[in-house]
C-alpha cells in the first residue's frame, strides 16, 4: 500500500480506467434510448467527465497551481448541478426523475446519480480505484438499457427510431429494467464492501492515511485557493471563516486550540483514564478552520498523539445526509441531502448487513493494535446556518418496517464490534462549537462571545453546580414543568443512594469533554419516570421541530408528535426517522440541568436561539436525552465528581441487558432536547419524606450560592 493511500496503483487499474472512461464519453453522442433516459445518462456522464478532468490535473500535479478563478470554474462544473435552482430540474432530484422516468426507474437512477457525486472528492484524492469502479458501475447500468433496446427490436415490439434506438420503453420493460438495475447496484455494494466498510475504520485508527493532514500542513493558508483542494463544495461560510481566522493573531488561534486540546486531555483526567496509553486522536472539523486545526495538531503531538482524519459521508453506504461528521463543509443544498438520506434502502437487506458487519469485524481484527491505542475523537462543530425545514416529497426513498428493524440491528451490532476493539472504558472525546458567518451581520461579535462562553471560569461553575447537586441528591424524584406555551409536566425518577456521603446521582460537568461549561446530569431510573416533554420549537441536528411533544411512561416514549406537517402521519414519521432513528420507542437516557445562563443571554441578545448547536443549547436549560445513557459501553467504569463522590447512576434497565443480549442493551443514539429558560417553569426535588426542594422557580435558580447564574437572565426571562 502506497504512503497515504488506500490502494496500490497498477497498470491494470489504469487500463481499466482509461477504457471505461472512453466508453462513457461516447454516451452523449448515441441517443438510442427514450428521450428522458438519454438526458439522464448524458447528465450523469457529464459528472464523470468533469471528475475525470480534475483527476487528470491531480495526475499532472497542477491542482495547487490553479488560480482562484480556475478553482471556482472547476467547482461550478462539478457542483453547479446541486445549486437549488438547477437541482429542481436535475435528475438528482427524485421528484424530477420520477416525473421523467417513472416511479421505480426514476427513483433508483436518481439515487445512483447522487452516489456518483462521490467521484468528485475521489478525483481530488487521486483515487483512481474509486473512479474506476464507479465508472464501471455506470457503464454496466447503461448496458442494461442497451440490452433492453436490442431485445425490443429483436422481438419487434417497438419500432426503431431514426438513430436505431427506441422512443419508449413498454411498462414490462421498465419493470424488468428496474429489477436488473437494482440487482447490479446491490452486488456493487456487496462486492466492494471491503472498501466502503473498511476505510472508515482504517482512516480512524491509522495516521498514515494523510490526505487531510498533508493538505493542512503543506498548503498555503494565506489565501483561499487551498480550500478548493478538498474536493468538497466551498461556499461563502468556508471562504469567510478562513478569511476571518486568517486575520487573528497567532496567540488567539493557539488559545482557541488550547481550549480544544485541553478539554480532550482533561476528559481523560476526570474519568481516570490513562492518556499515555494512547497514540492517536481523530480530529473532526469544519473546512475553513485550518489555522486552528493546525495549531491543535501541534498541541496533540506535544501530548504524544498523532492525528487521524476522515472525510464526511459522501455515499448512501456511509450515511450521506444524516449529519455532518469528519472533515466537512456546510451543505450546499440541504434538500438534496434530505431527499437522499435514506437511499441505502434500495439495497439494504439482511445479507448486505451481515456482509458489512463481517468486513467491519475483519478490519478491526487486522488493525486491532492500532485500535487499542486510539484515544477517541476531538470534534469541532459549527452553528449559524440558515434554519432548514425540509420539504417532504412522496418520491423520496424510505425504509420499510423490516429495513428499519435491520437498521437498529446494524447499528447495535456495529456498536458492539467497535466497543470490542475500542472499549468505552478506555477512550474519551471532546466537542467544541463556533459560529459561522451565515449567522448574520454580528458574526464577529458572536464569535468573540462564543470564545468567551467556551472559556468561562471552570472552578466557579464547579462550585455552583455542586450546590445544585447537593440538593438533588436529597430526592428520589425531580418534577419539571414548563410555563406559558410550554406544556411540559414530567417527573424523573432517581436511583437510590446507599451511602450519600460517598455517592451521588449527578455528574458535575464542566469544560472538558463537552465545551462549554454548564450542566449537571444523570442517567434516570426508568421506572417512575413519566409525563410529558414539550418544546415549542427546537433544532435537533439540522432539522427544526415545531411543538415537539413526547410522552413517557416508566422512562420510555409511548407517544410522540410535532406540528411541522399537515398530516399526523408525516409528523410521526419525521420524528421516528430523525429522533427515534427507526426504533419503535426509546428510553430517557439522560436528565440534566443546564447552568450556562451566559450562553442563553448571548442567544437572546443576538436572536440566535434557533441556531445554537445542541452542544451549547443543552446548557441553556434542563434537557432530556432519548436513547443511550451518557455512560454507554462504560457503565462499569467508576466515575467520580471533584468532591470525591462516585456517580452511581450509570445504568438503566436496558443497559443492564448487555451481558445477556447486547442487541437490546444499546440504541446507538443519544439526542438532547432542551427546554430554554424562557419556557421553563419549575424544577423541584421531591424527597422520600414528602419535602419539596426547589432548584428553579419560574425560570430562576433559587438554590443558595447559585444567585450569580440569574444575572444573565435579568432582561431575558
Burial of 8 (0-12, 13-18, 19+ CB in 10 A): exposed
Q: Where residue 5 falls among pLDDT bands split at 50, 70, 90?
A: low
Please state, in angstroms and as integers, the Cα–Cα distance from residue 61 to each residue in 5, 73, 125, following that order: 16, 18, 12
Encode pLDDT of 225-255 as tens digits.
Answer: 999 999 999 999 999 999 999 999 999 999 9
Encode pLDDT of 263-286 as tens digits.
Answer: 999 889 877 889 999 999 999 999
Distance CA 175, CA 573 (A): 28
What integer pLDDT is reported at residue 303 of this predicted model?
A: 97
Q: Is the dihedral of CA 602, 603, 604, 607 positive or negative?
A: positive
What integer pLDDT is reported at residue 664 of this predicted model?
A: 84
H-run or E-run covering 669: none
Distance CA 293, CA 286 (A): 10
313: DSSP letter:
P
Distance CA 362, CA 385 (A): 39
Encode pLDDT of 631-680 as tens digits.
Answer: 887 788 888 898 999 999 999 999 999 888 877 888 888 999 999 999 99
Distance CA 349, CA 187 (A): 12
Cα–chain center distance at 20: 34
Residue 698 pLDDT > 70: yes
Do 554 and 530 touch, CB atoms closer than 8 A?
Answer: yes
Q: For residue 306, which of 272, 283, 287, 273 has the smallest C-alpha distance? A: 283
Beta-carbon-side half-sphere exposure of residue 101 (alpha carbons within 13 Å): 32
What integer pLDDT is reported at residue 1 of this predicted model?
A: 39
Residues 6+ away with beta carbon under 8 Å from 669: 411, 581, 583, 586, 626, 627, 628
Distance CA 367, CA 551 (A): 44
Encode pLDDT of 114-147 as tens digits.
Answer: 999 999 999 999 999 999 999 999 999 999 999 9
Strands in 622-627's sheet, in edge-to-edge order, are 507-509, 519-522, 588-594, 622-627, 670-674
Burial of 518 (0-12, 13-18, 19+ CB in 10 A): buried
Encode pLDDT of 565-583 as tens digits.
Answer: 999 999 999 999 899 988 9
Residues 6+ away with beta carbon under 8 Å from 547: 534, 535, 536, 537, 561, 562, 563
Q: Where are the domains of the chain?
A: 11-191, 200-208+234-421, 471-713
Mean pLDDT of the chain: 93
What integer pLDDT is reported at residue 511 of this predicted model?
A: 62
**Helix then strand then coil, % of the chain, to nearest 5:** 50, 15, 35
Encode pLDDT of 79-99 as tens digits.
Answer: 999 999 999 999 999 999 999
Q: Is the dihedral of CA 54, 56, 59, 63 positive or negative?
A: negative
Encode pLDDT of 221-230 as tens digits.
Answer: 999 999 999 9
Distance CA 63, CA 75 (A): 12
Please state, in angstroms and as integers, the Cα–Cα distance from residue 458 to each residue in 40, 266, 275, 606, following that order: 57, 12, 21, 25
Residue 2 pLDDT > 50: no
Do 355 and 413 touch, CB atoms closer than 8 A?
Answer: no
Q: Which of 365-374, 411-420, 487-496 has the lowest mean pLDDT?
A: 411-420
Average pLDDT over residues 429-445: 95
Considering the entire predicted model, what is its pTM?
0.88
Encode pLDDT of 298-330 as tens digits.
Answer: 999 999 999 999 999 999 999 998 889 999 999
What integer pLDDT is reported at residue 155 of this predicted model?
A: 77
Residues 6+ away with beta carbon under 8 Å from 129: 6, 7, 13, 195
What integer pLDDT is reported at residue 3 of this predicted model?
A: 43
State in Å, rounded, how far the first CA of the chain is from the last one. Answer: 60
Do 534 and 549 touch, CB atoms closer than 8 A?
Answer: yes
What integer pLDDT is reported at residue 717 of this predicted model?
A: 59
Amino acid at each position: 500500500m502506497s504512503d497515504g493511500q488506500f490502494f496500490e496503483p497498477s497498470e491494470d487499474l489504469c487500463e481499466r480506467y482509461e477504457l471505461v472512461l472512453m466508453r462513457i464519453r461516447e454516451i452523449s453522442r448515441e441517443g438510442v434510448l427514450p428521450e428522458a433516459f438519454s438526458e439522464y445518462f448524458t447528465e450523469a456522464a457529464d459528472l464523470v467527465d468533469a471528475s475525470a478532468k480534475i483527476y487528470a490535473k491531480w495526475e499532472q500535479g497542477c491542482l495547487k497551481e490553479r488560480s482562484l478563478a480556475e478553482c471556482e470554474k472547476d467547482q461550478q462544473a462539478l457542483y453547479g448541478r446541486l445549486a437549488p435552482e438547477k437541482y429542481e430540474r436535475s435528475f438528482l432530484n427524485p421528484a424530477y426523475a420520477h416525473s421523467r422516468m417513472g416511479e421505480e426507474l426514476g427513483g433508483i437512477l436518481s439515487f445512483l446519480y447522487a452516489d456518483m457525486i462521490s467521484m468528485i472528492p475521489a478525483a481530488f484524492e487521486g483515487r483512481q480505484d474509486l473512479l474506476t469502479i464507479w465508472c464501471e458501475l455506470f457503464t454496466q447500468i447503461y448496458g442494461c438499457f442497451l440490452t433492453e433496446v436490442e431485445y425490443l427490436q429483436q422481438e419487434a415490439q417497438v419500432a426503431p427510431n431514426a438513430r436505431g434506438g427506441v422512443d419508449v420503453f413498454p411498462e414490462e420493460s421498465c419493470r424488468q429494467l428496474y429489477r436488473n438495475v437494482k440487482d447490479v447496484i446491490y452486488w456493487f455494494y456487496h462486492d466492494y464492501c471491503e472498501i466502503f466498510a473498511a476505510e472508515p475504520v482504517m482512516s480512524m485508527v491509522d495516521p498514515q492515511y494523510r490526505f487531510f493532514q498533508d493538505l493542512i500542513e503543506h498548503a498555503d493558508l494565506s489565501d483561499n485557493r487551498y480550500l478548493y483542494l478538498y474536493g468538497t463544495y466551498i461556499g461563502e461560510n468556508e471562504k469567510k471563516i478562513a478569511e476571518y481566522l486568517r486575520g487573528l493573531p497567532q496567540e488567539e488561534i493557539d488559545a482557541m486550540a488550547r481550549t480544544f486540546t485541553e478539554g480532550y486531555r482533561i476528559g481523560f483526567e476526570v474519568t481516570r483514564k490513562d492518556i499515555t496509553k494512547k497514540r492517536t486522536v481523530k480530529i473532526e472539523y469544519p473546512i475553513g478552520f485550518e489555522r486552528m486545526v493546525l495549531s491543535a495538531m501541534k498541541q496533540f503531538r506535544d501530548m504524544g498523539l498523532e492525528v487521524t482524519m476522515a472525510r464526511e459521508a459522501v455515499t448512501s453506504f456511509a450515511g450521506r445526509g444524516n449529519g455532518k461528521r469528519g472533515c466537512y463543509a456546510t451543505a450546499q443544498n440541504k434538500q438534496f441531502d434530505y431527499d437522499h438520506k435514506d437511499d441505502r434502502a434500495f439495497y439494504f437487506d439482511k445479507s448486505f448487513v451481515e456482509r458489512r458487519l463481517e468486513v467491519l469485524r475483519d478490519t478491526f481484527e487486522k488493525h486491532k493494535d492500532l485500535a487499542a491505542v486510539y484515544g477517541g475523537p476531538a470534534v469541532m462543530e459549527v452553528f449559524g446556518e440558515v434554519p432548514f425545514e425540509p420539504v417532504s416529497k412522496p418520491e423520496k426513498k424510505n425504509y420499510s418496517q423490516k429495513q428499519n428493524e435491520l437498521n437498529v440491528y446494524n447499528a447495535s451490532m456495529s456498536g458492539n464490534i467497535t466497543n470490542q476493539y475500542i472499549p468505552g472504558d478506555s477512550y474519551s472525546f471532546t466537542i467544541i462549537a463556533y459560529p459561522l458567518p451565515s449567522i448574520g451581520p454580528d458574526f464577529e461579535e458572536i464569535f468573540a462571545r462564543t470564545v468567551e462562553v467556551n472559556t468561562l471560569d471552570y472552578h466557579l461553575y464547579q462550585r455552583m453546580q455542586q450546590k445544585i447537586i447537593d440538593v438533588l441528591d436529597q430526592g428520589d424524584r425531580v418534577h419539571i414543568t414548563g410555563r406559558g406555551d410550554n406544556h411540559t409536566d414530567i417527573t424523573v425518577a432517581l436511583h437510590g443512594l446507599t451511602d450519600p456521603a460517598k455517592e451521588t446521582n449527578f455528574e458535575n460537568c464542566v469544560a472538558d469533554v463537552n465545551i462549554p461549561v454548564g450542566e449537571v446530569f444523570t442517567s434516570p431510573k426508568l421506572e417512575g419516570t413519566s409525563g410529558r416533554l414539550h418544546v415549542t420549537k427546537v433544532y435537533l441536528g439540522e432539522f427544526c421541530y415545531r411543538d415537539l411533544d413526547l410522552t413517557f411512561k416508566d422512562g420510555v416514549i409511548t407517544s410522540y408528535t410535532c406540528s411541522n406537517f399537515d398530516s399526523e402521519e408525516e409528523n410521526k414519521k419525521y420524528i421516528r426517522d430523525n429522533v427515534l432513528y427507526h426504533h419503535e420507542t426509546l428510553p430517557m437516557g439522560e436528565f440534566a440541568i443546564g447552568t450556562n445562563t451566559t450562553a442563553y443571554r448571548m442567544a437572546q441578545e443576538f436572536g440566535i436561539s434557533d441556531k445554537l448547536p445542541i452542544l451549547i443549547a443543552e446548557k441553556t436549560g434542563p434537557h432530556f436525552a432519548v436513547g443511550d445513557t451518557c455512560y454507554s459501553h462504560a457503565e462499569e467504569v467508576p466515575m467520580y465528581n471533584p468532591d470525591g463522590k462516585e456517580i452511581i447512576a450509570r445504568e438503566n434497565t436496558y443497559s443492564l441487558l448487555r451481558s445477556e443480549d447486547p442487541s437490546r442493551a444499546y440504541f446507538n443514539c443519544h439526542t438532547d432536547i432542551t427546554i430554554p429558560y424562557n419556557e421553563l417553569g419549575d424544577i423541584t426535588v421531591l424527597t422520600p419524606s414528602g419535602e419539596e426542594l426547589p432548584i428553579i422557580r419560574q425560570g430562576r435558580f433559587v438554590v443558595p450560592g447559585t444567585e450569580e447564574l440569574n444575572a444573565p437572565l435579568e432582561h431575558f426571562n
